[in-house]
Amino acid sequence: MKSHRQELWLETPTRVAFVNITPKVESALAASGIQEGLCLVNAMHISASVFINDDERGLHHDFSAWLEQLVPYDRARWHHNRTGEDNADSHIKRQVMGREVTVAITGGRLDFGPWEQIFYGEFDGQRRKRVLVKIIGE
Amino acid sequence: MKSHRQELWLETPTRVAFVNITPKVESALAASGIQEGLCLVNAMHISASVFINDDERGLHHDFSAWLEQLVPYDRARWHHNRTGEDNADSHIKRQVMGREVTVAITGGRLDFGPWEQIFYGEFDGQRRKRVLVKIIGE
Amino acid sequence: MKSHRQELWLETPTRVAFVNITPKVESALAASGIQEGLCLVNAMHISASVFINDDERGLHHDFSAWLEQLVPYDRARWHHNRTGEDNADSHIKRQVMGREVTVAITGGRLDFGPWEQIFYGEFDGQRRKRVLVKIIGE
């Protein structure tokens, strides 16, 4: 069994952002030399997500607007913010969108359906944060 | 390390539907000959889910009704639909319910608690779509 | 390839509870002897979650209160409860928070960012329930 580990660093200019990281995951996979296996991609921070959906800016707008309605920033509402933080909503938004994806590796490629793309979802940005790529297989 | 890949094709008669695919995943596992490992089951389409919950029709009704209230079809509301699509809600519903499950394989069986069953969750049906089963182990 | 399987048993004194199970997962990992691989941690019950977030009691309060507003207990509302159950809301809350996490194993450790901790999320407690830890690698 082979394994490969790589970190991706991101810093988004806005508090909430969606970044297509598929090419970077593909590069990590190429570097691994793994042909058959599983690829885990996860946010290493608990106010960010990794998820798979469509690379369409209207949809990303919809995600943001819907999440803000579902889990408003509303600093005074959340007990977590009594610690001095202001990102309780980010922790909850990340929970809705998910921490991680696991992707099958087949024939040395991400084994994807026609429209699958991997996104980093940032809910408390404007600082450097990391995504972990861990690939195991042969 | 061994690996096994199989696609399941589904076409649901309704826009929203939940289909128990556990027997098909068990067949894929039997075909793999793998005794110890991990089994990834994921929707290959970004308006569908794979998740684990109860095989009870009342609960499936509750999932549908609750999701429709949380993320209404409401074609005019979503920016994604300005592209000519009408399935923005399906992309968001899939995000709530999840893309994938990873299941432990122990002694050649899906290592499940008493009520766990694997479902395909369709949110934009009435056409042929795919689920990927990828199993790695020994 | 090596594999290791362990069950964690939990019984929470309240219906809804969040329990940090990171030390127990670390013990399972140490017992496995695995240095490089993947660790799956999943609820074996369909009214409970395993997820990764912050070990901060204010945030856990926020999770509970927000989930209760999003998916109220409201016994009469849910069709699932017509079977005699009263836990339809638990099944849906678990869906929002997720069933499982997959964690990278690197150098014999859980490969975590600075604040990541693994939680068992109980939504229908006050009875003995199980979490599965399955580790594969070398």
Q: Give the per-residue pLDDT at B96.
A: 98
Contacts of residue A58 in chain B, CB cutoff 8 Å? Answer: 78-83, 88
Indicate yes or no: pTM above 0.95. yes
DSSP conformational letter for A4: E
Three-class SS state of A105? strand
pLDDT confidence of C7, banded at 50, 70, 90? very high
* Pair of tokens at residue B85: 């699509």
pLDDT, one tens digit per residue, over B32-79 is 999 999 999 999 999 999 999 999 999 999 999 999 999 999 999 999
Chain B: list its partners (3+ Cβ pairs within 8 Å): A, C
Distance CA A36, CA B137 (A): 11
Between helix C88-97 and helix C57-70 the angle, nearest 10°, is: 130
Q: How far is C57 from chain B (nearest CA, A)?
A: 24
From the list B45, B82, B83, which residue is nearest A113 (CB)? B45
Q: Give the per-residue pLDDT at B115.
A: 97
Encoded amino acid at C22, one letter: T
Q: Nearest chain C Cα to B39, which residue? A: C40
In DSSP terms, B5 is beta-bridged to B134
Taken in order B96, A69, A77, A15, the sign of the CA dihedral is positive
Q: Give the per-residue pLDDT at C100.
A: 98
B-C contacts at Cβ under 8 angstroms: 92
Q: Give the per-residue pLDDT at C77.
A: 98
Q: Say if residues B93 and B123 touch (Cβ distance below 8 Å).
A: yes
Mean pLDDT in each 10-residue stretch from start to end of chain A (138 residues)? 98 98 98 98 98 98 98 98 97 98 98 97 98 98
Contacts of residue B43 in chain A, CB cutoff 8 Å? Answer: 113
Return the residue in B39, B79, B102 with the most chain A beta carbons within 10 A, the one to mutate for interface testing.
B79
Contacts of residue A40 in chain C, CB cutoff 8 Å? Answer: 38, 102, 104
Interface touch A88/C116, C-beta < 8 Å = no
Contacts of residue A43 in chain C, CB cutoff 8 Å? Answer: 113
Interface touch A56/B83, C-beta < 8 Å = yes
In DSSP terms, C3 is beta-bridged to C136
CA atoms within 13 Å, Cβ hemisphere of A40: 28
Q: Give the per-residue pLDDT at B97.
A: 98
Say which residue the tokens 């499936």 belong to: B60
Contacts of residue C87 in chain B, CB cutoff 8 Å? Answer: none
Distance CA B63, CA B96 (A): 11
Q: Give the per-residue pLDDT at C66.
A: 98
Q: For all residues of chain C together, what is the average pLDDT?
A: 98
